[in-house]
C-alpha cells in the first residue's frame, strides 16, 4: 500500500503579490508584501526564546562600541518552518539562491540601526536583500546616498522613503539599492515591545567590487596594534 506524504503546513502566504516601489531613477526598487508570515507573533516568541542572541561591537580607536541591538545567524536547516519556507519562496520568486539568514533583535524602541548600506556584499551593482519583519511595526527609512561630510546633505530629506514594517511583512530591496541608497531603523520612543528582522542576501558579483573600508572594519590609532574590527559576545544580563 502506498502512503501519500502529507504536504507541509504553510506558515507564509505565497498568494499575495508584492507592491513594487521604484526608487529614484528606477535602477533601485523595493518589493513590499504585507502580512507575508501568517503567525508572526508565534514566530517572534519562538525566536526570542530559542535563538542564541549575541551582542556585536565594533572597535573604535581605543574600545569596542556595542551596537544598540542583538544579532544571530540562523542556518537554513535549523530555522523554524516559516523561515525555511520564506527562503525557498524567495529563491523561487527571484530565481537566485539566497544565503543563510541573519536575525536582528530590537529589544524595545531605544534599540536602532543607523543609516547604512549592506556593503559587506562587496559587489553592489545588482543585489537582493530580503527582510521579514515581525513584532510591533516601526519605521524603516531609505534615502539616497549623499556626501555625509556635508551637514546640509545630511539634513536633506529629499527623496526619502519611509515605510512602517512589522507584523510579518516582507520587504526586498533590489537593483542598485545597496550602491545608491542608505537604509536604517531609527529609534522609536515609547515602543516597549520587541521587533525582529530576518535578512537573506544575494549579489550577482558583477561590476567593480567595493574595496573601501566598511563599518565592520576596526578603527585604530596609528601607534596602537591592530584589534579585531568586529566581535560578538553574549549580551549582559538585563
In tens, the pLDDT along 15-24 reads 999 999 999 9
Angle, vertex CA 106, rays to CA 111 and CA 180, nearest 5: 80
What are the distances in angstroms from CA 180 to CA 21, 121, 177, 214? 15, 14, 5, 15
Query: Which tops the pLDDT comparison, 60 or 110?
Result: 110
Question: pTM to 2 decimals?
Answer: 0.91
Report strand pairing: 70-74 vs 230-233: unpaired
Mean pLDDT calculated for residue range 194-210: 95
- Tens digits of residue pLDDT in 58-84: 888 878 888 999 999 999 999 999 999
Mean pLDDT calculated for residue range 113-132: 95
CB of 135 closer than 8 Å to CB of 44? yes
Residue 219 has pLDDT above 80, yes or no: no
What is the predicted pLDDT for the residue at 108? 96
Kindly report the number of other CB atoms within 10 A of residue 92's CB atom. 10
Domains and CATH numbers, the chain: 19-205+218-233 (2.60.120.590)
What is the predicted pLDDT for the residue at 81? 97
Residue 54 has pLDDT above 90, yes or no: yes
CA distance 219 to 8: 48
Query: Which tops the pLDDT comparison, 99 or 64?
Result: 99
Backbone torsions φ then ψ of 43, nearest 5 degrees: -65, -40
The full DSSP string for the chain is: -PPPPPPPPP-B-TTSPPEEEEETTTTEEEEEETT-BS-HHHHHHHHHHHS--BEEEEEEETEEEE-SSEEEEE-GGGS-HHHHHHHHHHHHHHTS----EEEEEE-STT--EEEE--GGGS--SSEEEEEEEEES-EEEEEEE---TTSHHHHH--TT-EEEEE-TTEEEEEEETHHHHEEEEE---TT--S-EEEEEEEEE---S----S--TTS-EE-TTS----SEEEEPPPP-
What is the predicted pLDDT for the residue at 139? 97
- Tens digits of residue pLDDT in 145-174: 976 666 766 666 778 999 999 999 999 999
Q: How confident is the model at residue 117 (pLDDT cuts 50, 70, 90)?
A: very high
What is the predicted pLDDT for the residue at 65? 86
> Given CA atoms 146, 149, 152, 154 in this order, what sign does their dihedral have?
positive
CB of 144 closer than 8 Å to CB of 24? yes
Tell me what the pLDDT averaged over the chain comes to: 90
Report strand pairing: 63-66 vs 70-74: unpaired
Amino acid at each position: 500500500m502506498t502512503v501519500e506524504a502529507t504536504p507541509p503546513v504553510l506558515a507564509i502566504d505565497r498568494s499575495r503579490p508584492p507592491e513594487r516601489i521604484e526608487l529614484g531613477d528606477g535602477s533601485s526598487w523595493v518589493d513590499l508584501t504585507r502580512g507575508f508570515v501568517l503567525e508572526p507573533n508565534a514566530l517572534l516568541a519562538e525566536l526570542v526564546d530559542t535563538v542564541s542572541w549575541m551582542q556585536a561591537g565594533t572597535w573604535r580607536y581605543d574600545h569596542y562600541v556595542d551596537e544598540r541591538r542583538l544579532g544571530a545567524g540562523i542556518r537554513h536547516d535549523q530555522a523554524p518552518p516559516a523561515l525555511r519556507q520564506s527562503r525557498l519562496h524567495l529563491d523561487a520568486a527571484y530565481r537566485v539562491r539566497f544565503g543563510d539568514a541573519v536575525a536582528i533583535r530590537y529589544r524595545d524602541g531605544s534599540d536602532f540601526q543607523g543609516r547604512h548600506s549592506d556593503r559587506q556584499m562587496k559587489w553592489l551593482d545588482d543585489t537582493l536583500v530580503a527582510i521579514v519583519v515581525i513584532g510591533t511595526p516601526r519605521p524603516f527609512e531609505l534615502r539616497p546616498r549623499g556626501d555625509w561630510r556635508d551637514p546640509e546633505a545630511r539634513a536633506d530629506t529629499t527623496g526619502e522613503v519611509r515605510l512602517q514594517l512589522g507584523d510579518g511583512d516582507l520587504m526586498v530591496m533590489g537593483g542598485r539599492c545597496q550602491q545608491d541608497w542608505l537604509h536604517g531603523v531609527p529609534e522609536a520612543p515609547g515602543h516597549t515591545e520587541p521587533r525582529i528582522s530576518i535578512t537573506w542576501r544575494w549579489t550577482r558579483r558583477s561590476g567593480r567590487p567595493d574595496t573601501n573600508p566598511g563599518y565592520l572594519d576596526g578603527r585604530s590609532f596609528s601607534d596602537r596594534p591592530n584589534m579585531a574590527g568586529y566581535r560578538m559576545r553574549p549580551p549582559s544580563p538585563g
